[in-house]
Amino acid sequence: MKLERVEVVHVAIPLVSPFRTSFGTMTTKDTFLLHVVTDTAEGWSEFAADPQPRYCSEFVAGAELVLRDFLVPRVATLPTLTAALVGPAVSGIKGHELAKAALETAVLDAELRSYGMPLAVYLGAVRERVPAGVSVGIKDSVPELLDDVERYLAEGYVRIKLKIEPGWDVEPVRAVRERFGAALPLQVDANTAYTLADAEHLRRLDEFGLLLIEEPLDENNLYGHARLQSRIATPVCLDESLHNARDTAAAIAMDACRVVNIKPARVGGYLEARRIHDVARAHGVPVWCGGMLETGIGRAPNLALAALPGFTLPGDTSASARYFAEDITEPFVLVDGHLPVPRTPGIGVEPLPDVLRRFTRARRDLYGG
Ligand code: OSB
Ligand code: MG
């Protein structure tokens, strides 16, 4: 392929309810879609981070500049463009995995459309539908939390993840266990809100039989997570700390995590995400697919990835209605606790033009056009 045009489409889509984590509250999905046009096909992707660098160091305005000035120029000069060549072409630019992932994914979408191949087939998927978990934000009160969990379970979600932070951990977990029973698959996500000095406190979660505790300590503190794991029974799962297959292998080897949250955006794209899957699987470590409150454009490729054989735990790949009154693609609908893996070429979805227009804040060409 030859790259002809790259465009960013900034969108702002209201969430159905505010989503509160230990690092802040989101009320709108505010990001950009990346649209690439090649000589053979077009592709779409979604930048996964937010306008502010609170989950990770990347943010919307910075990513657009990095793409425009450093990433897209390196890809535009390739004699032939394929998704597998994007990573090597941009490897001289440090970091910026989420921006790199957006570029690689849009190119991959275009490439697979030119072959007529669905992403799930390309990645090696073994399932046609994937079980859906749901990530439940921090609430003002326990009764409010129980109402939300009850509603999600009634809708069919098969696993609940509670966001926690100091002051909102043992009590909400105990309340959910008491109300919904010991058999409910339940896990928690701290988004780096604790320190190793909290180890004894976090050990109090052991009695609740959680599937895992996600990213309790600082990002990239593998040593600390290993120390914590030696003191608690709940399996530690890493999210923010894992940026590629190599550091995932290191984290597993040092027992800094016993479960891996794979977010393709955080690791530079679907090719590295598959390598992480392969490394974890070779070690017998379960993986699951994380989410970033994506629109359908970001969700569709995550569903393809989650259909790989090592994804033995339900992911944060929830239905469109969990996030938005109106998604910018055909909505993903929960059926019997599962979401379908897209089976048409590329990522398998496209923005609905009328809906996209209504949610668009700005469009800019980064290349060509
Ligand atoms: O840590 O997994 C996280 C959302 C935004 C940023 C970070 C995280 C999350 C979620 C929601 O937990 C997952 C989803 O439903 O998309
Ligand atoms: Mg997380």
Task: Name the phi and psi angles at 148, rounded to 5.
Answer: -65, -45
Residue 174 confidence (pLDDT) above 90: yes
- Arithmetic mean of pLDDT, 211-240: 98
Determine whether 100 is an active site residue: no
**For all residues of the chain together, what is the average pLDDT?**
98
**High-pLDDT (> 90) share of the chain, %:** 100
Give pLDDT tens digits for 179-221.
999 999 999 999 999 999 999 999 999 999 999 999 999 999 9
Across 273-301, average pLDDT: 98
Q: Is the pLDDT of residue 28 over 90?
A: yes
The pLDDT value given to residue 292: 97
Confidence band for 75, pLDDT divided at 50, 70 and 90: very high
For residues 311 and 289, the answer to whether their CB atoms sit within 8 Å is yes
Residues having CB closer than 6 A to ligand 1 are: 55, 135, 189, 191, 239, 290-293, 316, 318
Q: State pLDDT tens for residues 120-146.
A: 999 999 999 999 999 999 999 999 999
> What is residue 324's predicted lDDT score, i.e. its pLDDT?
98
In angstroms, the Cα distances linking 361 to 106, 221, 230, 250, 356 are 20, 37, 48, 42, 10
pLDDT band at residue 369 using 50, 70 and 90 as cut-offs: confident
- Residue 368: pLDDT band by 50, 70, 90 thresholds? very high
The whole model's pTM is what? 0.97
pLDDT of residue 217: 98
User: Which of 15, 16, 21 should be mutated for ligand 1, with most atoms under 8 A from CB?
Assistant: 21
- What does the pLDDT read at residue 108? 98
Reported as a single tens digit per residue, the pLDDT across 323-340 is 999 999 999 999 999 999
Instruction: Please tell me the distance between residue 19's alpha carbon and the centre of ligand 1 in angstroms.
Output: 9
- Known catalytic residue at 263: yes
Which domains are assigned to the chain?
3-116+351-367 (3.30.390.10), 121-340 (3.20.20.120)
Q: How far is the CA of 317 from the centre of ligand 1 (A)?
A: 10
What integer is the mean pLDDT of 19-43? Answer: 97
> Residue 193 has what pLDDT?
98
pLDDT higher than 90, residue 251:
yes
pLDDT score of 257:
98
Query: Is the pLDDT confidence value at 260 over 90?
Result: yes
**Which class for 300: exposed (0-12), middle (13-18), buried (19 or more C-beta within 10 A)?**
buried
> What order of strands is seen across the sheet that includes strand 42-46?
42-46, 24-38, 3-21, 360-368
